[in-house]
Chains A and B, each alone.
Chain A
Amino acid sequence: EAGVAQSPRYKIIEKRQSVAFWCNPISGHATLYWYQQILGQGPKLLIQFQNNGVVDDSQLPKDRFSAERLKGVDSTLKIQPAKLEDSAVYLCASTGPPPPGPNPRETQYFGPGTRLLVL
């Protein structure tokens, strides 16, 4: 089974520039997440989609960050304009239906991430 795909893998931009990241979740996974992981920290949820609808974007800095999942499959995350503190790894994850069994726990599968450096 193919995993979560992300591109680009690396991006270097100057502050105030714009940048976009792309994510293709595992086939059939309805739920998609974007996380930001700053060096030395755990990942922090930015936004959660269920199909093409937003479930939770409470931690997304909406003045500069935006995300969409128009057809309920691929997703893009955009930063405009970027700040120095946006330097981080941006991780995309997806979840499918919970597996069978007495203690079903759906697993979030993470993509390799996009490493962003803002200079």
Chain B
Amino acid sequence: RKEVEQDPGPFNVPEGATVAFNCTYSNSASQSFFWYRQDCRKEPKLLMSVYSSGNEDGRFTAQLNRASQYISLLIRDSKLSDSATYLCVVKGSGGGADGLTFGKGTHLIIQP
């Protein structure tokens, strides 16, 4: 089983729609969770951290379910500029080694 699994898509969504991505992770000892955004031929950039209580940043909402080892990202009122690859990211289980483990990413295309 892969450590972080995502549906690669692509998700083709009309502008203004709501879209949701899901991700599962295999290491139950994982401590931190993130969504990164990666534009074509660019480096990944942090979109938002994911907290157990769920958190919102503008049009973006992230949820974490530790029992099911499941992370989600919801984008409301999608914009053309939201077109990108969204990477689900899990941080190690402690002990000093805290490199990030990335999913393959979900490709989102917002259509006008």
Q: Which of A63-111 contact B (CB under 8 A)?
A: 91, 103, 105, 107-108, 110-111
Q: Give the chain A neighbours of B96 by CB distance below 8 A.
A: 50, 55-56
Asked if B66 is at the interface of the complex by the 8 Å CB criterion, the answer is no
B29-62 vs A, CB cutoff 8 Å, 1 = contact: the mask equals 0001010000000111110010100000000000
Tell me the smallest distance from the CB of B49 to a CB of chain A, in Å: 5
Number of residue pairs A-B, CB distance < 8 angstroms = 49
Contact, CB under 8 Å: B104 / A112: no
Asked if B98 is at the interface of the complex by the 8 Å CB criterion, the answer is yes
Q: Which of B65-112 contact A (CB under 8 A)?
A: 87, 89, 96-105
Question: A105 and B32 in contact (CB under 8 A), knowing A42-B4, A42-B104, A112-B42?
Answer: yes
Chain A residues with CB under 8 Å of chain B are: 31, 33, 35, 40-45, 48, 50, 55-56, 58, 91, 103, 105, 107-108, 110-113
